[in-house]
Amino acid sequence: MQTATHMLRTGQRGARFQFQMATRDLVTSLGRLGLSWSLAWHDVASRYRGSVLGPFWITLSMGLMVLGIGFLYAGLFKLPLNEFLPYVALGIVFFGVMTGTVNEGCETFVLASGILSQTSLPMFTFVWRTVFRNLINLGHHLVIVVGMLAFYGQWKVANVPLALVGVVLMLLNASWMSLLAAIASARFRDIPQIVVSIMQFAIFMTPVFWLPDRFGKHQAILDLNPFYHLLQAVRAPLLGQTVAGHTYVVLVAMALAGWAVTFVAFANTRRRLVHYL
């Protein structure tokens, strides 16, 4: 009986210690956000070193995709181009941020394995590195967003402050998804392919380049799609549309529950992650 009690207390102390170390890792990383930003900026700069347009090559290709899909679908569904093209542009740009953050999250710890094995940097530093890298890409893609809103006059009805709230909620949720993918991918190397497949499936099941009312009587299914809420919280205010109150409830609940579960997973696996790599 005493042995069982001793083991239980030891396990509780071990779990408490793991949680404390994970919390210290998070707090320390927040104090070094400048380092995460520098690493992210270096990633973007080195990827396009020697290129004339640099990261704007991605912006150019995304702009061409927006025009291609916008003109095609507007013609097929008989939709007004001045309404549909900004809708598609915002959908592709902001869903691309979510996709990039989650997909690249799979490689967060794998690519940093050399640094992690030789230094005592907080592991969260590399999580923020992934998030910042996609924020930098978003900064380039804002050319498309601003261009569409200005050209079609949508800037007159855009609610930018509310859209920024949506961006914050989107990043909060994409961050824990990215971290969870990073933890799983460090242990199981098949996870990146699974994550990419899920995100590819999600983009077709989310109204990125089709209108929600196309679901007809099954439109309630959209409420079960978290990516719909993530996208709606950003896109709707920029188009002068109203965001349903339950969308914010869903996003806040997702952020709280997602971070709670992911942080526990990080605390339990933190000491073993380097060995997985």
Evaluate if pTM is beyond 0.75.
yes
pLDDT, position 215: 64
SS (H, E, C) the chain: CHHHHHHHHHHHHHHHHHHHHHHHHHHHHHCCHHHHHHHHHHHHHHHCCCCCCCCHHHHHHHHHHHHHHHHHHHHHCCCCHHHHHHHHHHHHHHHHHHHHHHHHHCCHHHHCHHHHHHCCCCCHHHHHHHHHHHHHHHHHHHHHHHHHHHHCCHHHCCCHHHHHHHHHHHHHHHHHHHHHHHHHHHHCCCHHHHHHHHHHHHHHHCCCCCCHHHHHHHHHHHHHCHHHHHHHHHHHHHCCCCCCHHHHHHHHHHHHHHHHHHHHHHHHHHHHHHHHC
What average pLDDT does this structure show over 193-211? Answer: 90
What does the chain come to in residues? Answer: 277
**CA 202 to CA 172: how far, in whole Å?**
18
**CA 161 to CA 166: how far, in whole Å?**
9
Contact 206, 221 (CB under 8 A): no
Contact 186, 109 (CB under 8 A): yes
Q: Give the phi and the psi of residue 206 in degrees, each rounded to 5.
A: -110, 140
Q: Tokens at residue 17, please?
A: 């210690």
In b/e form, how buried is each residue of 203-237, taking b as 16+ CB within 10 angstroms?
A: beebbbbbeeeeeeeeeeebeebbbbbbbbbbbbb
Q: Tokens at residue 1, please?
A: 């009986």
Q: Tokens at residue 228, please?
A: 């719909």
Of residues 219 and 65, which shows the higher confidence score? 65
Confidence of residue 50 (pLDDT cuts 50, 70, 90): low
pLDDT digits (tens, 9 = 90+) for 104-147: 999 999 888 888 878 778 899 999 999 999 999 898 888 888 88
pLDDT digits (tens, 9 = 90+) for 15-32: 677 888 888 999 999 998
pLDDT at 65 over 90: no
Q: Taking every pair of C-alpha atoms in the chain, what is the biggest distance, in angstroms? A: 76
Confidence of residue 102 (pLDDT cuts 50, 70, 90): very high
The terminus-to-terminus CA distance of the chain in angstroms comes to 39
**Residue the block writes with tokens 């965001």:** 243
Nearest to 178 by CA among 131, 125, 113: 131
What average pLDDT does this structure show over 244-258? Answer: 94
pLDDT digits (tens, 9 = 90+) for 171-190: 999 999 999 999 999 888 88
